[in-house]
Amino acid sequence: MSNAEVLGRFVWHELMTSDTAAAAAFYPKVLPWRTAPSNMPGYTIWMAGQTQIGGLMAQPADSGGAPPHWLIYLGTPNVDTICTQAQGLGARLCKAPGDIPNVGRFAVLADPQGATFAVFTPAAGAPPPGASPAQGGFSWHELATTDVAAAVRFYGELFGWRKGPGHDMGSGRGVYQLFEHGGTQVGGIYAAQGAASAPAWLSYVQVADSSRAVAAAKTAGGHLLNGPMEVPGGSWIAVMTDPQGGAFAVQQPPGAASQPKGTPPTLKPAVPAKPPAPPKPAALASKPAPAAKPVPAAKPAAAPAATKPAAKPAKKAKPVKKAKKKAKKKVARKAAKKAARKPAKAKGKSRKSARRSARRSAGRGARGRARARRRR
């Protein structure tokens, strides 16, 4: 890659902080990073896999009390020329051009609205900036500013960025303006919300699971500002600060973690036959958007019938007709038995009655004969 091709590329990211040791311990717990030493005293390299993606250093004494922050570096064929051009467009020179032996030349500027950034020209013979790795690489860049249209013009003239589609964020928050570099959408610009939100750049690091990154950051002493939340296109984003106050964001692309695996697509607006949309602005510390509500866990399904204790089978009811028939037979048998006993009783009765009648007749006859003899 020639120096001409580096114009407008995000080539480096540098954390300036009040506690380098604490930062070196924090970020590898949250992001797929590790640290590596450099040839410069007091400067540490951030590594994502085998790729150098950024640096770590203590805040300079002449920082003017600026809080810990990440500084983006934009490529240019000539640092001095672009500094002059930027100042002509209303920018302020924060650090004059200087050389880093065997690395390149750089300078620090503030755009007309006050957001700081650095410009960088690789040294002759130095390896050109490599492609950002899929995991742990910087995947998106956002600029919060007080004048979106002015910022689009400034960076467009300075770095050749092209204005992409704009998306209305609703609720009076204005338009989220995409910008392109080399035909690829690489970031967005939006209006900072509230007087307390100073113009600033925010960089997103690609991770496999945004929720896991947030949980790790909280455990390690970081603070969540916004998210995790899903944005158009299926990405999940979250904005955080490290324990010293440096703001950064993570982006989980579609297809990562719980979603189907696949090669993460380039961030694009969610329109047919194009990759998904980029994240909408999320670093609105004064009015953070509500975090995405977790999907309630599914209720456990009812146990299959086979696993439940079987109920005792109910006794079969006897048919009504059969029961009635049986009862009638029983009554008939009793009646037959009773009827069988009656003739015998009746016969015995008749004999007794006959004997009594005979005795009565005999008695009446004897008494009658006795009365007749007395009369004689």
What tens digit of pLDDT does each residue of 189-248 get?
999 987 668 999 999 999 999 999 999 999 999 999 999 999 888 899 999 999 999 999
Whether the pLDDT of residue 49 is over 90: the answer is yes
Whether 239 and 372 map to the same domain: the answer is: no
Provide the percentage of residues in the chain whose pLDDT is more than 90. Answer: 56
Write down which residue in 252, 274, 292 finishes a domain: 252
Task: Identify the pLDDT of residue 134.
Answer: 83
Residue 374: which domain range?
317-376
Q: Which of 252, 269, 302 is the last residue of a domain?
A: 252
Total domains present in the chain = 2
Residue 302 clears pLDDT 50, i.e. is over it: no
In this prediction, residue 111 carries a pLDDT of: 98
Q: Please tell me whether residues 175 and 322 are part of one structural domain.
A: no
Say whether both 54 and 203 belong to one domain. yes
**Do residues 248 and 330 both lie within one domain?**
no
Both 22 and 152 in a single domain? Answer: yes
Mean pLDDT (whole number) for 141-160: 97
Could you tell me the CA-to-CA distances from 247 to 28, 81, 202, 240, 250 in Å, in that order? Answer: 16, 30, 7, 6, 11
**Do 192 and 337 fall into the same domain?**
no
162 is a domain residue: yes
Higher pLDDT, 195 or 3: 195
In this structure, what are the phi and psi dihedrals at residue 185, rounded to the nearest 5 degrees?
A: -75, 125
Q: Is 58 inside a domain boundary?
A: yes
Residue 200 forms part of a structural domain: yes
Q: How confident is the model at residue 137 (pLDDT cuts 50, 70, 90)?
A: very high
Q: 232 with 225: CB under 8 angstroms?
A: no
Does residue 324 lie in a domain region?
Answer: yes
- Compute the distance between CA of residue 192 and CA of residue 282 in angstroms, rounded to an integer: 11
Q: Residue type at 86?
A: A
Q: Judge if 203 and 329 occupy the same domain.
A: no
> Do the domain assignments include residue 147?
yes
pTM for the model stands at 0.69
- pLDDT score for 152: 97
User: Which of 18-27, 29-38, 75-84, 289-298 comes out lowest in average pLDDT?
Assistant: 289-298
| pLDDT higher than 80, residue 346 | no
* CATH number reported for the structural domain that contains residue 216 in this entry: 3.10.180.10
Structure confidence by residue, pLDDT tens digits, 174-187: 999 999 999 999 99
Q: Please enumerate, as own/partner, the contacts of 100-109 that have beta carbons within 8 Å and a separation of 24 or more.
A: 100/40, 102/39, 102/126, 105/79, 105/80, 106/73, 106/79, 107/79, 107/80, 107/83, 108/71, 109/83
Q: 224 and 217 in contact (C-beta within 8 Å)?
A: yes
Q: How far is CA 108 from the centre of its chain?
A: 38
My answer on whether 115 and 198 are in the same domain is: yes
Q: Are residues 218 and 328 both part of a single domain?
A: no
The region of weakest confidence among 203-212, 282-291, 312-321, 332-341 is 282-291
> Which of the listed ranges 130-139, 287-296, 329-338, 361-370 does the model predict with the highest average pLDDT?
130-139
pLDDT at 216: 98
pLDDT at 314 over 50: no
Residue 289, pLDDT score: 38
pLDDT value for 336: 63
The answer on 344 and 245 residing in a single domain is no
Q: Are residues 211 and 341 in the same domain?
A: no
Instruction: Decide if 115 is inside a domain.
Output: yes
- Opening angle at CA 275, ends 274 and 280, nearest 5: 115
74 and 165 co-located in one domain:
yes
- In this model, does residue 308 exceed pLDDT 90? no
Q: Is the pLDDT of residue 285 over 50?
A: no
Question: Among 206, 232, 252, where does a domain finish?
Answer: 252
Q: Has residue 284 been placed in a domain?
A: no
In a domain, 375, yes or no: yes
Contact (CB, 8 A) for 217 and 1:
no
pLDDT of 12 higher than 90 = yes
Side chain identity at 182, as an amino acid letter? G
The yes-or-no verdict on residue 139 having pLDDT over 90 is yes
Does residue 316 register a pLDDT over 80? no
